[in-house]
Amino acid sequence: MAVGPYTSQTIWIAEADDFVIRQFEDVYFVFCKSAGTTHLLNFLTASIVKNAVDKPGNMKDLYDRVLNDLELDAEDCPSELFESSVVQLDEVGLLKPKEYSNA
């Protein structure tokens, strides 16, 4: 469950100033300044965060961009897996919903 309610139109944002990220081999260590916590991200969750920093978007926007960046298809990364990863990033404070849109 995410920290708060969200819809398919919720814009997800990651604030670059709120964390420090360093890559070691194929994983990423992220320090979240506001929570004071350290997180270990895999290539998928790291890409979600990077995409949400560069250009916040709704679940579908981020899903398309991340799959494109990682050269994956829906079979490699089902939307359910992607959504649960977004929710987990929300729970630990690395991603948050920016606003709701009726568009």
Site residues (vs other proteins, CB under 8 A) = 20, 22, 24-25, 27, 29, 31, 33, 36, 38, 40
Question: Considering the complex, what minimum distance in angstroms separates the CB of residue 33 from other proteins?
Answer: 6
Question: Considering the complex, what minimum distance in angstroms separates the CB of residue 1 from other proteins?
Answer: 25
Helix, strand, or coil (residue 39):
strand
Distances (CA, A) of 5 to 27, 63, 94: 29, 19, 16
User: How large is the greatest C-alpha to C-alpha distance in the chain, in angstroms?
Assistant: 41
Residue closer to other proteins (CB basis): 62 or 94: 94
Helix, strand, or coil (residue 52):
helix
Residue closer to other proteins (CB basis): 41 or 59: 41
